[in-house]
Each structure stands twice: as structure tokens, then as C-alpha cells.
Amino acid sequence: MNLRALLLASAVSGALFSVGAQAAELTIGFSQIGSESGWRAAETTVSKAEAKKRNINFKIADAQQKQENQIKAIRSFVAQGVDAIFLAPVVATGWDAVLKEAQEAKIPVVLLDRDIDPAGKNLYLTAVTSDSVHEGKVAGQWLVKTAGGKPCNVVELQGTVGASVATNRKKGFEDGIAGASNVKIVRSQTGDFTRAKGKEVMESFIKAEGGGKTICAVYAHNDDMMVGAIQAMKEAGLKPGTEILTVSIDAVPDIFKAMAAGEANATVELTPNMAGPAFDAVIAYKTKGTMPPKWIQTESKLYTQADNPMAVYESKKDLGY
């Protein structure tokens, strides 16, 4: 199905059919980075589900973390004459040439989850990403509210040193607690986004902070590190979730299990549903010519123990996390 045929079809039947029915004609290619994390796997699963909901013919190319594979995939999508291309760019630079090819073929490109170099701004339709500064801020604000004015020493488990997500989540959290002088970060180390390192770093924090007695809350840049930290606290005889507050980001299924068990307090969701808003933007653009905003920010939803964590766990556990 090429673009002209599609336009013809929509011109002829535009008045008769609903948007959903028309979208049945859409073919969209998605150059996914790979499956380096559970979240990435969930994003793939959710994207497929969202495509099915809208009757979109959805093709996914797994790039196995390689830009050259992504470029190949985009060229192949262009050659196939798809209606739109989704790209989760593995790196920020080096896309100009291939995106120009897509532009010349009049195929709109939507960036998912990650942005590219600002120089390429006019080469894509829109970018659907979360705001990781905002995520950190939501987490910080929750902690300020929960601490309720009492002094609260926070230990922070950072993501990989130098990763932009880690830098942003750190900055956002600091913004979130900026107004509350009672909440302060006393220790901050990298746990490399992994469970094992999260556990190891937390073990050291506990020892350095008088057996954990002076720790009021743990903030982790992702849930995996928090799951490890929760284990470390339990092994040290501490009670995470009650004695020590926890707040982390991502909302992977396992943190809901911990919440259901009362061992974790809050998580901020990095939604795996980036494709949903992207589909809607493309459909609106194709059918009504609506130009979407250059940046579609996904919701950073806060989940706590009050949000029926077991039910959320059940809904998320089969997404591929």
C-alpha cells in the first residue's frame, strides 16, 4: 500500500468511515533498538497491542543495539513504501542522511522514547518521550509530601554514571525536594541500574549510616536497583516500606510485588506505551492533516501502595518486563 493509494482511498471514503476503520489501511514500520532491558521488551509488546487496537499493519525491526541496523531498517521501510516510520534511536547523532531519504519519500518519522540531535529537528514529525527530569521531580515531590516536614535523610542510588537518564532523574529529584529543607540527600552512589549493584551499594549505605538507623528514605533511579536495595535492607534486619521509605522510577512489575508486600512505597511510571500516542498523532496527521506538536510528553504517573499494586502487577507481568 503506497501513499498515493492511501490518499486516494481516504479522499473517496473520507466521509463514510470512522478514523479507526481507515487506519486499517495504514502500514507502519518500527525500528526498535533491541531488547536490552525489560522495559524495552514491554515497549515492544505494548506497541504491538496498541497497533492491533487500531488495526494497523505494524512491522518491527530489532536493531540489536546497532545504529547501522537501524539505518538499514529505515531504508528498507522506505523501499517498502510504508505510511510512517517509528524510530527508537540508539544514539543521538548520525541520522540526517537516512531521515532525509524518508522525508524525500514523504514518509513521516516519529521518534519514540529517545530524542536525536537538535540539528535534525525538521527531519521528523514528532517525538514521543517521557521527561526524565519530570519523573525525578514527581518522585521528589512525593517524598516531601510523605515526610511531612520531619527531617528525612535520603540515600540515592544513581543510574550509570554519565547516562542522561541518570543525570536527569537526579536533577529532577533535587528540584522536587528543593523547597523542603528537612529532606536532604546524604549519600549518593551509582548502582549501574542493576539489581546486584543496587543491593551492594545499599549494603554499604546501611553500614555507613549507622546500620541504616539514620536513613529515612531511599531514592533509586530505577526499580531494579530498588528491588536489590530492598533485599539489602531486609538482610540487615531493616523494614523497607515502613522504617525506611522507598521511591523509585520505571514501574516494572516486580516493584508492585514489593509494594503489595508493604516493602516498597512508591514508583513513578515510565510508560511502555510510547507507540499509542504516536499512532494517534500519525492517524490524525494522515487523515486530517493535523500537525502534532514537536514533542509529545508521556504521562509520568505515580503509583503507591494505595493503587492496588497487586492488580497493576497482574496487568504488567506479561508485557515482557
Partner 1 sequence: MALRLPRIGTSQIVALALILAANWVVSPQFFDIRLQDGRLFGSLIDVLNRGAPVALLSIGMVLVIAMRGIDLSVGAVMAICGAIAASLADSHPLPVVLAASLGAGLACGLWNGLLVAVLRIQPIVATLILMVAGRGIAQLITEGRIVTFTSPELAFLGGGSVLGLPTPIVLTLAMMALTLLIVRGTALGLMIEATGGNPRASALAGIGTRLITVAVYVWSGLCAALAGIVASADILGADANNAGLWLELDAILAVVIGGTSLFGGRFSILLAVVGALIIQAMNTGILLSGLPPETNLVVKAVVVLAVLLAQSPRIGAQIAGLGVLFGRSRSRRRS
Residue choice 194, 287, 304, 305 for contact with partner 1 (CB under 8 A): 194
Q: Which residues contact 292 (CB under 8 A, 6 or more apart)?
A: 125, 126, 281, 284, 285
Does residue 237 touch partner 1 according to CB under 8 A? Answer: yes
Of the pair 9, 185, the CB lying nearest partner 1 is at 185
Contacts with partner 1 in 112-171 (CB under 8 A)?
A: 158, 161
In one letter, which amino acid is 66? K
Residue choice 195, 221, 286, 316 for contact with partner 1 (CB under 8 A): 195
- With beta carbons less than 8 A apart as the criterion, state whether 249 and 135 touch: yes
Cα–Cα distance between 136 and 153 in angstroms, integer?
17
Which part of the chain contacts partner 1 (CB under 8 A), choosing from 11-19, 67-75, 191-199, 297-305?
191-199
Question: Residue 112 to residues 59, 95, 229, 295, 298: CA-CA distances in angstroms?
Answer: 15, 14, 30, 10, 10
Assign 255 to helix, strand or coil.
helix
- With beta carbons less than 8 A apart as the criterion, state whether 157 and 126 touch: no
Of the pair 113, 203, the CB lying nearest partner 1 is at 203
In one letter, which amino acid is 29? G
Size of the site for partner 1 (CB under 8 A): 37
Of the pair 95, 193, the CB lying nearest partner 1 is at 193
Cα–Cα distance between 278 and 297 in angstroms, integer?
11
Residue choice 254, 263, 269, 280 for contact with partner 1 (CB under 8 A): 254
Does residue 292 touch partner 1 according to CB under 8 A? Answer: no
- What is the grid cell recorded at 192? 549501574
Q: How far is the CB of 295 from partner 1 (least distance, A)?
A: 28
Assign 87 to helix, strand or coil.
strand
Residue choice 1, 3, 41, 261 for contact with partner 1 (CB under 8 A): 41
Question: Phi and psi of 176, rounded to 5°?
Answer: -65, -35
Of the pair 200, 307, the CB lying nearest partner 1 is at 200
Contacts with partner 1 in 202-231 (CB under 8 A)?
A: 203-205, 207-208, 210, 224, 227-228, 231
Q: Which residues bind partner 1 (CB under 8 A)?
A: 35-38, 40-41, 158, 161, 187-190, 192-197, 199-201, 203-205, 207-208, 210, 224, 227-228, 231, 235-237, 254, 320-321
